[in-house]
Structure 1
Amino acid sequence: MALWFAKSQEEVLSSLDTNVEEGLSSQEVEKRLQSFGRNELEVKKQESLLKKVLGQLEDPMIIVLLIAAFLSYVSSGFEDWIDSVIILLIVVINAIISISQENNASKSLEALQKMSAPLAKVIRNGKLEHVETATLVPGDIIELEAGDLVPADARVLTAANLKADESAMTGESVPVNKKALDSLPEDTVLAERKNMLISSTVITNGRATCVVTDTGMKTEVGRIANLLITEDDNTTPLQQKMAEISKMLSIICLGICVLMFIVGLLYHRPILEIFMMAVSLGVAAIPEGLAAIVTIVLALGVQRLVKRHAIVKKLPAVETLGATSVICSDKTGTLTQNKMTIVETFVDNGQSETDILTIGALCNDSKLTVTSTSDFNVTGDPTETAFVSKAFEEKLDKNQLEQGMPRVAEIPFDSERKLMSTVHKMEQGYRVMVKGAPDVLLNRCTLPAAQAQVIAEKNAEMASNALRVLGVAYKDIVEVPAELTSEDLENNLTFVGLVGMIDPPRQEVKAAVEQCYEAGIRPVMITGDHKLTAVAIAKELDIFRDGALALTGAELDLMPQEILEEEVTKYSVYARVSPEHKMRIVKAWQAKGMVVAMTGDGVNDAPALKVADIGCAMGITGTDVAKGAADMILTDDNFATIVHAVEQGRGIFSNIKKSIQYLLSCNIGEIITIFVATALNFHQMPLVAIQLLWLNLVTDSLPALALGMEPVEPGVMKQKPRDSRKSIFADGFAASMIFYGVLVGAITLAAYWLGEYVLSDPNIADGTANTMAFATLVFGELTRAFAVRSETRSIFSIGVFSNSAMNKAFVVSLAMQLAVLFIPFLQEIFKVQSLTGTEWIIVIALSLVPLIVSEITKAFRRQGNTTEDVAEVAAH
């Protein structure tokens, strides 16, 4: 991209082969349209519905479910298709949810296109014309005025009091002065290119004549659009974990089938019988309801987050929040109030704060709307609204002041004078009220040298604290000159005082930052604002701690990515950064193995929001582009909301782990039962295929879903973020799952053995043993669900009935299982029979074993933790 801002006007016009007075000819425009293309953004071609559907088949869990459906059909001798249809229905539901999420996920490029102006004023063939923005080409001479949307990147040729709102592109919170400067240094960052206008920004003041330098995808907004096209969404930690589980289950299924064949051949069983046993075990190994349960738990998490002012667009993002280890936050509006506020005043001798605020409110173009004695709204330039707001708080109503001292004349602010003056009718004569840059204003005031020195030092002190400083002054005149000039009105002034203003931090953010540190999360500020201001706010919020460093965009340009990745942890503040810088920072943290949440509201934030693990757009101030690229939208634009969302995300992931552990331990119990029965050559299987599907799809699924609705456990934000790269089976997860799976399998086999060899004649296959095994397995898994609710806390300390969803799931599952065991036609379908009182006592006693063992192991674990805590205290 050519550095148009670094060239002289003559070089720019010469390079673009154009003429300011005549513009381009119609023939030349046609040639350049052929060469440069239309002034439009390219849109990535959307996938067809068929392709999206086929894409769902790439999910390993879906493949496993399809295999399970096929095996279930085969095991029935190609006669019973009900089980297979149920599994396929789960696949379809998951596909519908996933595709609908994708369709709603990214509307960023469409929003970017909507930002472009429909018509532009351009000089062609020596005449001013209104043309479609899409037909603009480099070299076109365009004219702009207040209210216009800039149609393409352009170099300013002439300007009168020109200001542009570039906040969406640069993060600059106030309109930027633009000038027809001859050239700027080549290393000038985007936010400081005063002689350039950026496509899709808004002219807020003045007028200008410009030459188009870049169009379409070559513009700054086009570069962002290109980043949105080329940057693919990252795989979330949960998707990685689910793929891991699917892979494990596939290996287990294959291994089991091979092993079963070997065992069957050793016992000289018929090949068809061996195959059917292998299929039954394959069905037992696959938790058919797992994918649906995880989806539902995430969807419930979305509903929880809405109540905390966070709207999640993509379900997996809920879980990603819980793994967040770095939050890269924009400053304006997220960490701060997005409201310039006067926080300090300096009153000169003989003056008062009332005098300062009166002048500041009257020499002011903002509008005050009063709705009650304490409620008001001010619209206008942020600096001016700060004066009016402070005055109103001090009982000085701008509207009432103007009635008593009406404005009769003015000299508007311009960037050359750095002053604004208004003339007001007083009871006797007129008063000129002036506000502006203190260094300029002091030179216009009548002051002793010593007094001027004191004021200059105070100005420097306030500026060093990152305050935006303005001075106010006045002078009385007898009559208003016929011709208003700066020389007449803005000299021999009486200095009144200084005001220091800043966009102050949100009150709740400092506590949220402290909570981040407690939770092992690193907060980082990334802003388009100046370094001094950014560091001052970061210090006040405790983001910028001892030993921390700040980096500017210009400094970042000189730093290779490898060095940034090595040193990224040193920097807590990044200032004056571009979209590419933000992406580099996010990627540098990701290279460290961190899960990065990124906040933003502007167009310039969209690429980084998309590449971050969790992109958070602002709901109030955010552009449609930012919202389209983000995973989550903060409806209150508040940093503290992200921290609340992280807490919920941690709780949700913990609940998903509980559901997964519960389901897989149940499946292991079923596998152990069938495999041991096969290996020991039982004359009949303790469980049949329909019973296994009933367990997996119905009785196991409801408690698993209820586990996903557990409240967030206390102390979850006192823990460090989990390592997203670590296997879900690490830290004792697999060991606990296998232990309880084996235990559930053992009590099931015990029930079968007692029913087959103790309570009935082993030579008569009356179904007692099978029914006892089936009932013990179901009830054992139901009691196990209560034990899984916490890794360390007793069910009695949590509260047996504290999770209403679990209570309902237990009652419904219990009722359904009792119906199967007692209703005759269901007994026939599920191959069970009625049990005697003695048999029921054995089933209930064995079913309570997993819960009792769990409570005992938790007690030992708590005792161990207490001992470790005592030892740690003693060591310190």
Structure 2
Amino acid sequence: MERTFYSDTPRQVLDTLDTDPDQGLSQGEGARRLAGYGENKLEKAKPPGLFRQVLAQLRDPMILVLLAAAALSFFAGGGQDWLDTAIILLIVVFNTVISVSQEDNARKALEALEKLAAPRARVLREGVERRLESTHLVPGDILLLEAGDYVPADGRILWAAGLQTDESAMTGESLPVHKRAGDGLPPDTPLAERKNMVIGGTVVTGGRAKVVVTATGMQTEMGKIAGLLLRQGQGETPLQRKMKEVSRVLSLVCVGVCAVMFGVGMLQHRDILDMFLTAVALAVAAIPEGLPAIVTIVLAVGVGRMARRNAIIKRLPAVETLGCASVICSDKTGTLTKNQMTVLEVWTPAPALRDRALTLGTLCGDAQEGPGGYIGDPTETAIAQAAAQAGLEKAALERDMPRRGEAPFDSVRKRMATCHALPNGEALVAVKGAPEAVLARCTHLLGAQGPRPLTDGDRRR
């Protein structure tokens, strides 16, 4: 029976998975579980071998007609006139080589892209935050999530601050889902209402959270869907359906004409063998041997043009399917980025206030220092990196002014606020966000001569 982690309390989930929320798993335990559970990735259909690829091409209806034509041509010539047969077979070989080669190159390119785009996850291992390849996640890992992160596995939320996820790929709901930690839900709670769980394959749109991984790979909700898809065969493209219809009609017409010619010859009392050879020759002449080669060449040219536009086509006939599209809707910018930002300029009313601005920006952020620099939201890591270059290390600032509370950024408030304890016992509230959202709530401006009332002109400037 499948375990419903969403109906258990957080303590029960942690006990079941034998993990610690503050330490996570040890490296050795993580390796042991990885060997037992397998890698955190979805299974794919095993790519066909060379023999099966060739066989698939030869099963094409038009190719079968050509092979039949080659056999008839060879038989009609009594095995002596083999030129027509050789030409037809050469066309078949040419068509097969191009198709198999293109599909093999496309598969290798896609595999290379998947390795290049493999996401990494922030996890706690032995109490230390680490960047781990998402394929190495195992049940029991403590996962750290924040806005913009890809959720690499199913998990139960242990702690959350303003967490929202986009689950449209799973539930069809376009609006972000508000998530929270809490006690268990009823066992019959549907997937779309499991507010204390995150689903692998979704995206964090706001807030932060600490999650314990409950399922990886094919055991995730996304994996269950992938398992259903694996049992579905590939459908035919419009071009393949048209070619099959042409082959069927052509075959029927050839057979019909040959039968009529043979029948007429018999009524005229002609030699049976001569009439049979005449009918076979007529059939061979009626078959357009160059059609498959022409279609393959045209498709290959289309694949080449798409490749120059950085698009990978897995199967040749798919080029024609794209040509059937009249409208393509996309919400992407078409821009590839490194997901990194850099502070180029800091503007303050007085140069002496630059360090204060960087200090507040760093405190009011969730960027964390990792092995290769700061990790987290690109904007926050850029601010923390700029502060570090000015001699203001985030770890030192937080030791002097530890965080005591926070109000996460969201699309409605358009700002984030954190509260910090000062050494003198007072509290400091640091706020960052959209200029219009922050300035609308400011009353004074801190300048070189101290604070003064903030005017509308100051706001515009």
- Aligned-partner Cα distance in 2 for 1:129–1:434: 26
Query: What residue number does 1:156 align with?
Result: 157
- Aligned-partner Cα distance in 2 for 1:226–1:470: 48
- Partner of residue 472 from structure 1, selected from 431, 437, 440: 440
Matches within 5 A, 1:840-851: none
Query: What residue number does 2:364 align with?
Result: 412
- Partner of residue 122 from structure 1, selected from 121, 125, 128: 125
Query: What residue number does 2:142 align with?
Result: 142
SS in 2 for 1:474: coil
Query: What residue number does 1:510 align with?
Result: none
Matches within 5 A, 1:359-378: 367=342
Alignment of 1:331 with 2:338, yes or no, is no
Change in 2 beyond 3 A, CA 1:400/1:132 = closer
SS in 1 for 2:442: strand
- Aligned-partner Cα distance in 2 for 1:308–1:26: 43
- Aligned-partner Cα distance in 1 for 2:199–2:341: 26
Retained in 1: the 8 A contact 2:118–2:133? no
Higher Rg of the two aligned structures: 1
Q: CA offsets per residue over residues 624-661 of structure 1, 9 Å max, x none?
A: xxxxxxxxxxxxxxxxxxxxxxxxxxxxxxxxxxxxxx
One-letter amino acid matched to 2:364: P
* TM superposition shift of 1:218: 1.7
Query: What residue number does 2:240 align with?
Result: 239
* TM superposition shift of 1:47: 1.0
Q: CA offsets per residue over residues 52-85 of structure 1, 9 Å max, x none?
A: 1112221111111111112222222211211111
Give me the CA root mean square deviation: 5.4
One-letter amino acid matched to 1:56: Q
Q: CA offsets per residue over residues 127-156 of structure 1, 9 Å max, x none?
A: 769798666543x14253779876532223
Retained in 1: the 8 A contact 2:145–2:208? yes
Structure 2: tracts of 5 or more residues without a match: 366-405, 419-428
Q: CA offsets per residue over residues 494-523 of structure 1, 9 Å max, x none?
A: 7979x9xxxxxxxxxxxxxxxxxxxxxxxx
Query: What residue number does 1:249 align with?
Result: 250
- Aligned-partner Cα distance in 2 for 1:84–1:332: 52
- Aligned-partner Cα distance in 2 for 1:165–1:278: 66
Retained in 2: the 8 A contact 1:153–1:198? yes
- Aligned-partner Cα distance in 1 for 2:302–2:433: 51
- Aligned-partner Cα distance in 2 for 1:470–1:76: 89
* TM superposition shift of 1:22: 7.4
Q: CA offsets per residue over residues 1-34 of structure 1, 9 Å max, x none?
A: 7664565424534654655467679999899778
Q: CA offsets per residue over residues 146-191 of structure 1, 9 Å max, x none?
A: 798765322231357879899999999999997545568945749x
Change in 2 beyond 3 A, CA 1:155/1:479 = farther
SS in 2 for 1:329: coil
Change in 2 beyond 3 A, CA 1:324/1:18 = same
Retained in 1: the 8 A contact 2:23–2:125? no
One-letter amino acid matched to 1:92: V
* TM superposition shift of 1:243: 0.6
SS in 2 for 1:213: strand
Retained in 1: the 8 A contact 2:143–2:213? no
One-letter amino acid matched to 1:248: V
* TM superposition shift of 1:261: 2.3
One-letter amino acid matched to 2:65: V
Change in 2 beyond 3 A, CA 1:188/1:37 = closer
- Aligned-partner Cα distance in 1 for 2:107–2:228: 13
Query: What residue number does 2:95 align with?
Result: 94
Alignment of 1:211 with 2:212, yes or no, is yes
Change in 2 beyond 3 A, CA 1:19/1:227 = same
Change in 2 beyond 3 A, CA 1:306/1:122 = closer
Alignment of 1:103 with 2:104, yes or no, is yes
Retained in 2: the 8 A contact 1:121–1:129? yes
One-letter amino acid matched to 1:115: A
One-letter amino acid matched to 2:261: M
* TM superposition shift of 1:268: 1.9
Query: What residue number does 2:77 align with?
Result: 76
Retained in 1: the 8 A contact 2:69–2:287? yes
SS in 2 for 1:212: strand
Change in 2 beyond 3 A, CA 1:19/1:173 = same
Change in 2 beyond 3 A, CA 1:224/1:399 = farther
Retained in 1: the 8 A contact 2:156–2:211? yes
Q: CA offsets per residue over residues 187-214 of structure 1, 9 Å max, x none?
A: 5749xx7754554778899975431111
* TM superposition shift of 1:473: 2.5
Query: What residue number does 2:398 align with?
Result: none
Change in 2 beyond 3 A, CA 1:47/1:300 = closer
- Aligned-partner Cα distance in 1 for 2:121–2:408: 33
Q: CA offsets per residue over residues 238-281 of structure 1, 9 Å max, x none?
A: 11111111111222222233222222222222222112211211
One-letter amino acid matched to 2:242: K
Query: What residue number does 1:280 align with?
Result: 281
Structure number with higher relative contact order (C-alpha < 8 Å, ≥ 6 residues apart): 2
- Aligned-partner Cα distance in 2 for 1:85–1:232: 34
Query: What residue number does 2:40 align with?
Result: 39
Change in 2 beyond 3 A, CA 1:253/1:241 = same
Alignment of 1:52 with 2:49, yes or no, is no
* TM superposition shift of 1:50: 0.8
Retained in 2: the 8 A contact 1:472–1:496? no
* TM superposition shift of 1:232: 3.4
- Aligned-partner Cα distance in 2 for 1:328–1:176: 27
Give the TM-score, by structure 2 length. 0.63
Query: What residue number does 2:377 align with?
Result: none
Change in 2 beyond 3 A, CA 1:24/1:320 = closer
Change in 2 beyond 3 A, CA 1:76/1:338 = closer
Query: What residue number does 2:389 align with?
Result: none
- Aligned-partner Cα distance in 2 for 1:403–1:479: 6
Change in 2 beyond 3 A, CA 1:44/1:200 = same
Give the TM-score, by structure 1 length. 0.36
One-letter amino acid matched to 1:329: C
> Which structure shows the higher helix fraction?
1
Say how many residue pairs are matched.
388
One-letter amino acid matched to 1:294: V
Change in 2 beyond 3 A, CA 1:69/1:479 = closer
Retained in 1: the 8 A contact 2:122–2:144? no
Retained in 2: the 8 A contact 1:149–1:201? yes
SS in 2 for 1:284: helix
Query: What residue number does 2:390 align with?
Result: none
Retained in 1: the 8 A contact 2:364–2:432? no
SS in 1 for 2:331: coil
Retained in 2: the 8 A contact 1:150–1:202? yes
Change in 2 beyond 3 A, CA 1:313/1:27 = closer
